[in-house]
Each structure stands twice: as C-alpha cells, then as structure tokens.
Amino acid sequence: MPSRAEFAEVGDDVYVLRYPVLDVNATLILGDGEAILVDTLATAAQAEELAAAVRAITPAALTIVNTHHHFDHTFGNAVLSSPPRAIWGHASVAGLLRDRAEAVRRAAYEEALRLAPSIAEDLLTVPIMAPNATVRHESTLDLGGRAVILYYLGRGHTDGDLVVHVPDADVVVAGDLVEEGAAPAFDDAYPLEWPETVAALLRLTTPATSVVPGHGAVVGQNFVRGQHEELAALDWVIRDGHADGAPAERVAAKAPFGPEAALVAVRRGYAELSGRL
C-alpha cells in the first residue's frame, strides 16, 4: 500500500525524500564519489526503503548527519551506516543516543503511540546507533571537492539541532528548527531561544535559497521569516504571561501555532524562566 519512497532534486545534486509516515524529510547530498545523507527515518524497514532510494541515485559510500536526536531522524542510523562510517551529530545528540538510548527509545515509543501507532512496536527493537563524529559550533565536511558545512546555531527545537548548509547549491537543511505543514514541536524545545536560532539560520539564506524543513514541503526564505515572526511572538507571549503570573492554559489559548502546541511551549518557557529547565 505505501507508495515507493523516492528522492526529488531540490538543488544541484541535492535530493530530498519526503517520507509519508510522519511526513519527515531525508536529504542526500552528492559529491565526487562520496555522499552525505541527512537524517535516517525511524525504523529498520523505513531505513531499508531509504537505502534502496539512495542506491537508485548513487553507489557512493554514505556519511550520515543527524539534525537532532529524535527517533524519526536517527533510528535508521544502524541500517544506513553499514559498514559503519562517520555519523555526525551535535555533541549532546551523541551523548544522549550513546548513554541514554533506552530512555530515548521509551520516549520515542510513547510519542509514536500518539502520532504513528503502526511503527511504535518497531521502535522497541531497532538498534540505536549514536553519532561518532561531533559538532560543537561548526564543522566543514569536504565531500569530494564540495564543501558542506554543519552549524550549531543555538538551542531551539532541542538543545542539539544542526543545520546543514550546501553553499554551492544554495540549500539549507534546517531539521525541525523549521516545520512545514504542522506546528513546530515543543516537547524538548527551548521556545525562548528558538527565535534567535532561526534568525541565525536566516542569515545563511538568500531569497533564492531552498530550505529543507524536518517535516513537510521544501520552503523558501519567506516561509522561514514567517515562522521566525511567529516564534518571536510566542516568545513574548510566554514572557508576558510569566511576568503577569498567568496560567499556562490561558496564555496558550492566544498564542501562535494553536493552543495544543503552544501549551507545551508555554510550559517549557515558564520552566526556563523559573530556572527549572
């Protein structure tokens, strides 16, 4: 029943596969005899499907990049990094998937039960492989003569979001710092810092840049500007609400992104402002 997943070219030798379950994106960047795959989907079966889609485009060995630790971006690592090669991630992502893998797995299972119950069971058994090459601020990868830059621009969707810039193709892979087709997810987020991080991401873009969000359709600079404005508005609503001692539910009701997503954000923001996060 599921249609075969395929990559579509979004820039010179940069391809995006938009996977129907959770509407999540994986990005393939080709260099001379080498390739980078950004994010690896959630289950072994999904990762096998992704590997086949990669092989339809290139036989090159894959370097993996994880935009952040969430299961829909990392749990395919073991299938796609076989034989094992470099897996890049923020230092906090490497630590989390190495030292707290079973806690991450439990959180993934609980979330999948809500959002994608058909894959929840698979998450209990998929081998979790942590990044073995870490980024703290910025790392430039030489992809067979092509520069691909990994940036850590600050906390946002999580405390370890990487942004992948392919300057010669004018493509920025934003991970879940940018979300299309649904509200941003705040469960592990830092809503008071997220706007500044997206502002830094915007400085990598031009009006012609293709931005690959973690989920949904590829967008342009204007879409990211709009999301930045909403995140900044949310930031202020949270700060005002906290200063007034307003209940989180009341603040969320008038916040951007809808009351459900916003409530998670307001609670995270309040926790941060009270020094509990």
Binding range to Zn ion, per CB under 5 A, among 16-24, 26-34, 163-171, 172-180: 172-180
Which one of the spans 37-45, 68-76, 220-228, 255-263 is the region binding Zn ion (CB under 5 A)?
Answer: 68-76
34/176 with CB nearer Zn ion: 176
182 secondary structure, DSSP code? S
**Of 58 and 66, which has the nearer Cβ to Zn ion?**
66
Region from 103-111, 173-181, 225-233, 236-244 binding Zn ion, contact rule CB under 5 A: 173-181
Nearest CB to Zn ion, comparing residues 176 and 235: 176
Q: How far apart are CA 136 and CA 49, in angstroms?
A: 31
Q: Dihedral angle at the C-alpha atoms of 81, 135, 74, 225, nearest 10 degrees?
A: -130
| 256, two tokens | 């951007």
Query: What is the H or E stretch that residue 262 is in?
Result: helix 259-273
Applying CB under 5 A, the span of 26-34, 42-50, 66-74, 254-262 interacting with Zn ion comes to 66-74
Minimum distance of Zn ion from residue 105's CB (angstroms): 15
**From the CB of 59, what's the least distance to Zn ion, in Å?**
30
Residue from 69, 70, 242, 268 binding Zn ion (CB under 5 A): 70
Closer Cβ to Zn ion, 73 or 242, answer by number:
73
Q: Which of residues 72-131 bind Zn ion (CB under 5 A)?
A: none
- Contact 262/256 with Cβ under 8 angstroms? yes
Q: Is 272 in the site for Zn ion (CB under 5 A)?
A: no
- Which of these segments, 8-16, 67-75, 195-203, 245-253, binds Zn ion (CB under 5 A)? 67-75
- Residue pair 47/26 in contact by the 8 Å Cβ criterion: no
CB of 107 to Zn ion, least distance (A): 11
* Cβ-Cβ contacts under 8 Å for 276 (sequence gap 6 or more): none
Q: Shortest Cβ distance from residue 123 to Zn ion (Å)? A: 14
CB of 175 to Zn ion, least distance (A): 7
CB nearer Zn ion, residue 31 or residue 160: 160
Residue 8, beta-bridge partner list: 16
Give yes or no for a contact between 157 and 189, defined as CB atoms under 8 angstroms apart.
yes
- Tell the residue number behind the tokens 């992809």, with chain if given: 143
Of 79 and 185, CB closest to Zn ion: 185
Q: 49 or 176: whose CB is closer to Zn ion? A: 176
The interface with Zn ion within residues 24-43 (CB under 5 A) comprises none
CA–CA gap between residue 146 and residue 162 (Å, rounded):
19
Residue 251: φ, ψ to 5°: -65, -45
Does the protein bind Zn ion through residue 176 (CB under 5 A)?
yes
In DSSP notation, 116-174 reads -HHHHHHHTTSPP---SEEESSEEEEEETTEEEEEEE---SSSS--EEEEEGGGTEEEE
Degrees (nearest 5) of the Cα angle 168, 174, 178?
140
> Residue 41 or residue 251: which is nearer to Zn ion going by CB?
41
Which residues are near Zn ion by CB under 5 A? 70, 176
